[in-house]
């Protein structure tokens, strides 16, 4: 039987949604390369330049549930329109920025806009495509996300060879988004409006909690742990986090439903998403700095290496889809955890190598965990709860995932900085004493990165045991329940 073809309206919606969402992963993965240029352009330290990434991720995570809830009141299409317009504005402001604070402001605007686009895109696609074609539509949607991920590092590295490359790129993206905006206007709205009150308090507390947490881990290498500013921010983060937990637990219509974590399968997938944020995403953002410090690779060679790390996000989901009926969720989870544990160890072995190909192979294996997870993790998380909680589960899961990434990205770079500073001090001391402990600052950077990857691997192993135990306990509980029913 031939597959049903998309009609003209469905093609219009599919292209508008997919092309609009293509920008989001491209913006995220390009940031790791652009961060290096920003350090040079504004004469910044790495921890300061890191806020180019941090502020986008914090706003993205904090406003995912906010824009998702607002869309229930004003309609998915209206939120999508708002997101596209705001994202175009963010790109324009970023391209024209003549100081770092204005650039950060543009990134904050872009993070809020990305949240609005993300929360409304899938809903718009689901409401305008016939149910018999939805599986194929979302497969195409996933391909565009994968292409966006692998395009980011290559485009960002190419900008370094073009005069005013960032300005040209920003203007191009803004123009493209305005075209998508016009295309979206021609699509009819199909959405119901919510009648329950919006959790403004939860939205505010979530934003403050993420900002304070990210500031703590970002400035730790600069301020040190005993600094009053560090302790004050840590206290604020803990207090706001506790208050957020209490508010959301008591709210009749919470922004994040804490109770849903009682479901062990949902909790296992949520912890896995955090582990992917720590073991893959955070290292992905740190690695360009390492490459720039210890190798003589060109910008395009570095871009190709980072692209190799994102390529599995496009390759593995399409391959797994062909054999999905034969591959259980448990098997795919175990393979994901295997790569999370083993690939950092392999990567640590090649630190200091001048081989581009060896780095590309290692980074492809490093990205395998994330690429494989895309084929099941969201589905398992959402399907683990009753159907009437699916929307809430999706919002909570994505907030948990992106929020974790927004904290782990600066945390990993801070740990790496502290390791390198410690080893650098030993280098200076041993050179002054006339001995050779670690040859030079170049080798201290290699050693600190290698140690970081080993720590990542060990922590991934520990939490993998926790995740598998969660799944095993839940399976045993279900078996006992089935026996008691009989």
Does 346 share its domain with 469? yes
Does 235 share its domain with 274? no
166's CB contacts (< 8 A; 6+ apart) are 34, 37, 94, 95, 159
Does 165 share its domain with 232? no
Does 158 share its domain with 300? no
Among the candidates 166, 189, 212, a domain finishes at: 189
Instruction: Quote the CA–CA distance of 305 and 8 in Å, as a whole number.
Output: 39
Does 173 share its domain with 67? yes
Pick from 87, 113, 428, 386: which is nearest to 266 by CA? 386
Token pair in block for residue 154: 């290559």
Helix axes 134-159, 165-185, angle to 10 degrees: 160
Please report whether residue 307 resides in a domain: yes
Please answer whether residues 64 and 201 qualify as being in contact, where contact means their C-beta atoms are separated by less than 8 angstroms: no
Among the candidates 160, 189, 218, a domain finishes at: 189
Handedness of CA 451, 452, 457, 458 (dihedral sign): positive
Instruction: List phi, psi (to 5°) of 406.
Output: -65, -25
Does 307 share its domain with 349? yes
Please report whether residue 127 resides in a domain: yes
Does 357 share its domain with 467? yes
Please report whether residue 265 resides in a domain: yes
Does 324 share its domain with 212? no
Token pair in block for residue 427: 């280098």
Q: What is the pLDDT of residue 457?
A: 96
Q: What is the pLDDT of residue 42?
A: 84
Written in H, E and C, the secondary structure of 194-258 is: CCCCCCHHHHHHHHHHHHHHHHHHHHHHHHCCCCHHHHHHHHHHHHHHHHHHHHHHHCCCCCCCH
pTM for this predicted structure: 0.80
CA angle 379, 382, 385 (to 5 degrees): 135
Please report whether residue 56 resides in a domain: yes
Please answer whether residues 278 and 410 qualify as being in contact, where contact means their C-beta atoms are separated by less than 8 angstroms: no
Please report whether residue 2 resides in a domain: no
Does 168 share its domain with 275? no
Exposure string of 201-223, with b = 16+ CB inside 10 Å and e = fewer, is: ebbbbbbbbbbbbbbbbbbbbeb
Give the CATH number of the domain where residue 171 resides.
Answer: 1.20.1250.20
Is residue 440 packed enough to be buried (19+ CB in 10 Å), middle (13-18) or exposed (0-12)?
A: exposed
Does 310 share its domain with 274? yes
- pLDDT 10s digit of each residue in the chain, 486 long? 455 688 888 888 888 888 998 999 998 888 888 888 888 888 888 778 888 888 898 888 888 877 877 777 777 888 889 999 999 999 999 888 888 999 999 999 999 999 889 888 877 877 788 877 776 787 788 788 888 888 888 888 887 777 777 778 888 888 999 999 888 888 776 655 555 677 778 888 888 888 888 888 777 766 777 778 888 888 998 999 999 989 888 887 777 778 888 888 888 888 999 999 999 999 998 999 889 888 889 888 998 999 999 999 889 988 887 887 788 888 999 999 999 999 999 999 998 888 999 999 999 999 999 999 988 888 788 777 776 666 667 777 888 888 888 888 888 888 888 887 777 654 443 333 333 334 455 778 888 899 999 999 999 999 999 898 877 645 544 443 333 344
Does 216 share its domain with 277? no
Instruction: List phi, psi (to 5°) of 98.
Output: -110, 5
Does 45 share its domain with 164? yes
Q: How many residues does the chain have?
A: 486
Give the residue numbers spanning the domain of 183: 7-189
Please report whether residue 194 resides in a domain: no
Among the candidates 138, 171, 189, a domain finishes at: 189
Please answer whether residues 445 and 294 qualify as being in contact, where contact means their C-beta atoms are separated by less than 8 angstroms: yes
Tell me how far CA of residue 425 lies from CA of 113, 190, 305, 470, in angstroms. Answer: 43, 62, 30, 43
Pick from 297, 414, 426, 283: which is nearest to 348 by CA? 283
Q: What is the pLDDT of residue 240?
A: 93
Helix axes 134-159, 299-310, angle to 10 degrees: 160
Domains in the chain: how many in total? 3
Please report whether residue 376 resides in a domain: yes
């Amino acid at each position: 039987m031939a597959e049903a073809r998309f009609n003209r309206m469905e093609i219009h919606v599919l292209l508008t949604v997919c092309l609009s969402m293509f920008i989001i992963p491209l913006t995220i993965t390009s940031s790791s390369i652009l961060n290096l240029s920003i350090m040079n352009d504004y004469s910044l330290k790495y921890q300061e330049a890191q806020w180019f990434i941090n502020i986008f991720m914090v706003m993205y995570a904090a406003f995912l549930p906010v824009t998702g809830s607002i869309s229930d009141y004003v309609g998915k299409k209206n939120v999508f329109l708002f997101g596209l317009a705001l994202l175009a504005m963010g790109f324009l402001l970023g391209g024209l920025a003549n100081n770092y604070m204005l650039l950060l402001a543009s990134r904050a605007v872009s993070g809020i806009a990305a949240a609005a686009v993300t929360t409304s895109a899938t809903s718009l696609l689901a409401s305008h495509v016939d149910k018999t074609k939805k599986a194929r539509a979302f497969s195409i949607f996933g391909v565009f996300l994968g292409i966006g991920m692998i395009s980011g590092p290559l485009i960002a590295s190419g900008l370094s060879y073009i005069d005013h490359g960032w300005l040209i790129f920003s203007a191009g993206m803004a123009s493209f988004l305005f075209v998508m905006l016009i295309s979206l206007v021609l699509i009819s709205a199909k959405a119901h409006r919510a009648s329950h009150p919006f959790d403004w308090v939860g939205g505010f507390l979530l934003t403050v909690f993420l900002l304070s947490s990210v500031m703590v881990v970002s400035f730790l290498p600069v301020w040190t742990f005993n600094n009053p500013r560090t302790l004050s921010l840590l206290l604020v983060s803990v207090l706001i986090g506790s208050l957020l937990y209490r508010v959301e637990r008591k709210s009749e219509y919470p922004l994040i439903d804490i109770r849903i974590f009682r479901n062990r399968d949902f909790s296992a997938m949520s912890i896995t998403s955090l582990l992917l944020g720590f073991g893959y995403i955070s290292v992905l953002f740190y690695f360009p700095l390492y490459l720039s410090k210890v190798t003589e690779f060109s910008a395009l060679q570095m871009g190709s290496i980072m692209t190799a790390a994102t390529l599995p996000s496009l390759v593995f989901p399409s391959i797994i889809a062909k054999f999905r009926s034969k591959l259980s969720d448990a098997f795919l989870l175990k393979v994901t955890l295997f790569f999370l544990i083993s690939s950092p160890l392999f990567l640590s072995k090649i630190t200091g190598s001048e081989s581009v190909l060896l780095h590309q192979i290692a980074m492809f294996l490093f990205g395998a965990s994330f690429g494989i997870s895309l084929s099941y993790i969201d589905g398992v998380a959402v399907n683990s709860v009753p159907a009437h909680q699916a929307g809430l589960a999706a919002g909570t899961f994505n907030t948990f995932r992106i929020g974790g990434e927004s904290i782990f990205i600066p945390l990993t770079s801070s740990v790496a900085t502290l390791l390198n500073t410690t080893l650098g001090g030993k280098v200076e001391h041993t050179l002054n004493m006339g001995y050779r402990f670690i040859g030079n600052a170049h080798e201290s950077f290699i050693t600190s990165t290698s140690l970081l990857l080993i720590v990542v691997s060990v922590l991934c192993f520990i939490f993998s045991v926790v995740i598998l135990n969660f799944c095993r306990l839940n399976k045993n509980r279900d078996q006992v329940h089935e026996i008691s029913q009989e």
